[in-house]
Structure 1
Amino acid sequence: MINNRKLLITLLAVCSLYFCVHVINNSGTPVFRELQQSGRNLAALEANLDNGPLVVQDSLLSAEPTRIFKNSPISVPNARDASPMEKTIPEKVLDIIKCMDKPMAAKTQQRGDYWVLYNYITPEKKFRCHESITYTTHADYSFMDNLVPLLDRWRGPISIAMHAPGTDFQNTIDSIAYLRDCVDPLVKEYVTFHVYFSTKHVPKVVPKHNNVLTEPYNCSLTPPFANVSSDQMYKAQKKLLYPVNVGRNVAREAAQTHFILPSDIELYPSPNLINKFLNMIADNKGPLLSKNPKVYPLHIFEVGGNQQVPETKTILKEMLSNKSAIPFHKNLCPSCHNIPKAKEWQNTEETEGLHVFHVGKRNGKYIHWEPIFIGTHNDPLYDERLSWEGKSDKMTQGYALCVMDYDFLILDNAFLVHKPGIKLYKKDSRRATLAAKTNQLIKKIIFPELKVLYGIRKGCAV
């Protein structure tokens, strides 16, 4: 009887031990399994479980850190353990796009014929790769009056590359300081500034990134970008071309988020676009499930100089009907922004949220379409041999997108509006000459390269 009792106790002890080990291995320490699977060494953990709470942060785990509490083998479930109904929108987005966070590090680096100061002036807010969309853009300091109205509608991260050769550099820094200290706290909160200039036009003094804005700006001073004329700028005095695609690529590559909106600083987005877009991505339905690479183009419009930028599609439709708004570049290059199903889009009523209105392609009558779209870091970059003055600066990227069979998922309730003022055609002989030279460069050198690198597809053209 005694031997049987001992045997029973032993069996119960073994079963209890097995049960505990099973619980710990299967639900108690999922963070350990994740760390082991990702090749991380547990010795790198900076705290001991007996010494208080331990926080392990990893972009592959969740939007929130997993906490292991003192004297407890049980952890709070992370985003990947939660059921779909329990997950937040950012967690659902992370599950779908599976992006990786990257550090926002300041660095000085040569890029072809340019020096680039990456992350030269950084914002207070930082975003993980799945938490937002970054509006990426470019400018010189004469365009800085657009930043606040852009930011007021965007309310999210902006990555901007500033062209600042020679004496334009100090005016650029002063303009940034004025906007951060004197105009709108959103600038300091959301905007990352990169600075670039030609190796032949290096400023006389370039402070290190941690010494560039050490003193508050004197807000009684007039900002350099106020009423500046182009002939006052170093760039104009030296007859420099504006390297638009260098700026586009610098701002894009430095963006912290997976989704990016490469655009121009004078194009203001419809409000609340970030939240609506991420909700759509989290739903992950219909055309979003296509295996083709995809981008999300936005309709673009111009409004009269005395008009307010419309807040909603409903207001925009009214302005289109009374001619106080027109499609972008209608008077300059209609085919460049002739977006598929444009008339149908304008006749469709506004709805809640954001959805794919139409899946288009850059071929047929849209063969020279220059879409502006929400995309990702996987999309082709812009050719840095092309300048703003020479035009056609986005055409080569458009060819690559076409050959790679991209789907253009046109959004129904989102749009961009240019800074108020209808554009009219003005004859510019210097720019016409540069455009002719650019066309020859594309035809004889760049296009043959693109055919080798990306291939050819029927219906695709530069």
Structure 2
Amino acid sequence: MSKCLRVCSAYSYRLTRRHSTLVLFITFVVTLTVIFHLYSFKHHEPPRSFPQIGDFEYKPGAFLRGRQPDNNKSFCEYNYGLPHYIDWGTFPIFTSPESGITGPYRVIYNAIRGTEYSNDSKYDAVTYATQATPEFIYHVVEIAKYWDGPISLAVYVPSYDMDTAIQILKHLCSCYSAMTKVSLHLFYPKRYPPKIRKPEEVTVTTEVTAATPNVSANEILQNKVENYRNILKSNRRAEYVQWVRRKKIERLTARVHKKAETAPNLHFADCSGPNVSDIPTFRREHKMIYPINVGRNVARNASKTNYFIVSDIEMVPSFGLAPKFLRMVRKLMGDKKRDEGCIFAKTVFVVPLFEVERGEDIPHDKDA
């Protein structure tokens, strides 16, 4: 045993002398690794759960909870037969601003006309230009609550999504007086023009068995039983089974078709929004893309003021942002030029965007 140890020691010494640089490098690396591991273990902290950004419990229109709509009054000025129907042929249909006549989208401007700032000049107001699909329309009440100026809202309404949008807007216009600021513009694919379901068109389809006059219910039932017995006795059973299956497929197909072409009936407990959070739409049913830039261009193009802010409908403006911006423009330009109607042409003013953590109240000024 001792002889083996001596041999191994001699061999290790010779190997170390021959590869001394490599051994020293490996020893250095191992030493540093051990030191770093000990340091990290000493300063180890338990894992922290970082706060998620975004107030996911936020619900637009929550401040209207408990308020009931006035069904005899509307704060919106509808056009073109709305909200009951669309009076096609009485208004112009425009192409989308970015693609023109060759584009796939069409636009109906001022389906609802905002009246609160209609008498103000284009120099004395700033328009909030935004866009949405029907399920996000309710966010407009948060904008209207804090925005001191006209609001240009473009809504994407292919097929029966128009019906869904009108249900929500009709409810909002009976609930909140600040809806007088909102002008509504509709845009849609020319392949799927907007549709509104009339009340008389809502029917329930049921199977009706024509009864022979002066025949009792028991006699009708007895005749059906006798017919089934005759079918079982004869060779027509397979034919009958095929007929039943074919009829069932037809009924199921009719139900699927009806679901795809009909807007849901929305229910509202109060003015704070519909009872369901996930509203089915024609766009999602048919997996259509949402042309967000078309909506932005429509809302911007419909603005009647010199200045406008283009923002998403889920953004909430700071309190007093519009008048503060106008005061800033007057200060930069000077009273004389501003009174003469001068503007900053081809100029972009950047508005900072902030996010809040979950559960935090949304601040509306720097002090908050």
Give the structure-1-normalised TM-score.
0.39
Tell which structure's C-alpha radius of gyration is larger. 2
Structure scoring higher RCO (CA < 8 A, sep ≥ 6) equals 2
Give the structure-2-normalised TM-score.
0.49
